[in-house]
Structure 1
Amino acid sequence: MGWFNRGAVVPVLKLSGAIGMAAPLRPGLSLAALAGPIERAFSMSRAKSVAVVINSPGGSPVQSSLLFKRMRQLADEKGKKIYVFCEDVAASGGYYLAVAGDEIYADPSSIVGSIGVISASFGLDRAIEKLGISRRVYTAGTHKGSLDPFQPEKPDDIERLKSIQRNVHDVFIGVVKDRRLGRLRGPDAELFSGAFWSASDALELGLIDGISDVRTKMRELHGDNVRLRVVPVERGWLASRFRKLPSVLGGPGPGSVSGSLAFADDLVSAIEIRAMWSRFGL
């Protein structure tokens, strides 16, 4: 008799980390890496619900869009309803992913929002000048070397970047308005300023639908016997790191030029990702 009383199976897809960016031992979220798990989540069960748990400070707007579109495509094709649950943070691209949900919930301490676009760099031109270092750049194309951090900023380059950011921001705003139609409360100047809020404030602004967690909500929808099944997300990136180690036959490793460059690139990526999380006090 117990067999027939087993509850519905609800797939749980966990999207955790920066979007499109990768750091040592932690791959970034991208459609290439997550296409398989997303497909499995929407095909795993006959239940009409798919739970998506998000913990992301954002990242690539392109990968955010691709992941958003794929989840919505599968939800429409298979007649599924997406319930999103924000953990520590669902901000910027993380919130872009969240609006794929038909309903969005958050923990009381979650950080939500940051609907904006940012580009950060450093100005090192005066530093290398003090060190007696000259920067030599040769390009074919008037703007090919624009925004080089080792050269003084040019007003035209800044305006061009801001124009691109406005275009990307407009796309983001359009997606949020479409998905949260009739639920947003508050002036556009506040909602789309790039600010972020606690869950209670996000609820007042209509950015989320309630304060809850995945198990509580799924029990409300499917009964106490509901079974949550986490969809495995392969983490194959670590293996690629090991493949860079020197083999008995020789080859590029950490001690080689290519290995050192790879390590430096990983270190920079790790610092950038750490800075993204730090913006939200995490």
Structure 2
Amino acid sequence: MTESSPSTRARFSFPPFFGRRRPLVTVIELSGVVGQLGPARKGLTLARVESAIESAFKPRALKAVALAINSPGGSPVQSRLIHDAIRRQAEKKKIPVYAFIEDVGASGGYILALAGDEIYADASSVVGSIGVISAGFGFHELIGRHGVERRLYTAGEHKSLLDPFRREDPTEVARLQAILDDMHAQFIDLVKARRGDRLGGQDDVFTGAFWTAGPAKERGLVDGIAHLGDLMRARFGENVKLKKVAPDRGSLLRRLMGGESRGLIDPEAVLAALEAKALWARYGR
């Protein structure tokens, strides 16, 4: 057998990029109100995003995981569950996590951002709102004017705590305030644990106030002003591959049934939409 000619060897030589894997960054999209909003409107819950989190950390050539966050908050429990699920995977796989706030990363939305080892935002992003809120209405005077009698029977001294159809009780308000203060303290502890020495020490950081990215950076709530694609290319090269991983949307049939099975107007869906709208409206969105 004769040796191949140089021209033949050249014809079958491998290109210089053959076998080289592009650096990979998976992107978890976390957009919307946190919590269950009803069958017709899917909020961000651990049940909905857990499979996306697991998938994001699976690839072998993974360099980092990026979080694309756009949320005004919502359920503090679901925010923390999602945060913890991301941190467990990050620590298990030894993968860095970068959080990018888009329009809003406030309240529970900022808890999601705290899952990142570094947090970035657009110059006009709304960041912060490190506080806890509980809101409602009082209808006792309204039903009294219309001759409506409230009938309520309970077993348990505090079962009807802050019932909106009777006059507010200062003792019950104090009990609710103690719960809110405890939740606020947990939020503060998480921010301090995740942001550490980067916090600027300003007194207003934990008041529930919120800022655009520049003042948020001064307070140590974000690490800089940057967009996801630009920063990932700067960190991992121009040929970095960004692979989006979206939360579960559920089957088409289930979504259709959730929105249409109760008639043309679903009261639960309307209330959920109003609740979501109110949360976004706090931040001018």
| TM-score (norm: length of structure 1) | 0.91
Deviations 1:157-193 (A, max 9, x none): 1101100001111111001001001100033x41100
Give the aligned length: 270
In structure 2, C-alpha distance between the alignment counterparts of 1:93 and 1:193, rounded to whole Å = 15
Asked whether the 8 Å contact 2:259–2:269 carries over to 1, the reply is no
Give the RMSD, CA atoms, in angstroms.
1.9
Shift of 1:237: 6.9
Judging changes above 3 Å, is the alpha-carbon distance between structure 1 residues 230 and 245 closer, same or farther for their aligned structure 2 residues? closer
Match of 1:254 in 2: 262
Asked whether the 8 Å contact 2:41–2:273 carries over to 1, the reply is no
In structure 1, C-alpha distance between the alignment counterparts of 2:136 and 2:251, rounded to whole Å = 27
Between the aligned residues of both structures, percent identity stands at 47
In structure 2, C-alpha distance between the alignment counterparts of 1:208 and 1:245, rounded to whole Å = 38
Asked whether the 8 Å contact 1:11–1:45 carries over to 2, the reply is no
In structure 1, C-alpha distance between the alignment counterparts of 2:190 and 2:76, rounded to whole Å = 12
Match for 2:249: what amino acid? R
Shift of 1:134: 1.5
1:135 aligns with 2:150: yes
SS in 1 for 2:110: helix
| TM-score (norm: length of structure 2) | 0.90
1:165 aligns with 2:168: no
Map residues 1-282 of structure 1 onto 2, 5 A cutoff: 1=15, 2-4=17-19, 7-22=22-37, 25-187=40-202, 189-236=203-250, 239-243=253-257, 253-255=261-263, 263-282=266-285
Asked whether the 8 Å contact 1:6–1:225 carries over to 2, the reply is no
Whose Rg is larger? 2
Asked whether the 8 Å contact 1:21–1:59 carries over to 2, the reply is no
Judging changes above 3 Å, is the alpha-carbon distance between structure 1 residues 161 and 245 closer, same or farther for their aligned structure 2 residues? closer
Higher mean Cα deviation, 228-237 or 8-17? 228-237
Shift of 1:38: 0.3
SS in 2 for 1:276: helix
SS in 1 for 2:204: helix
Asked whether the 8 Å contact 2:40–2:269 carries over to 1, the reply is no
Judging changes above 3 Å, is the alpha-carbon distance between structure 1 residues 83 and 244 closer, same or farther for their aligned structure 2 residues? closer
Match for 1:59: what amino acid? G
In structure 1, C-alpha distance between the alignment counterparts of 2:242 and 2:227, rounded to whole Å = 12
In structure 1, C-alpha distance between the alignment counterparts of 2:252 and 2:244, rounded to whole Å = 21
Identify unmatched segments of 5+ residues in structure 2.
Answer: 1-14
Shift of 1:3: 4.4
In structure 2, C-alpha distance between the alignment counterparts of 1:23 and 1:244, rounded to whole Å = 8
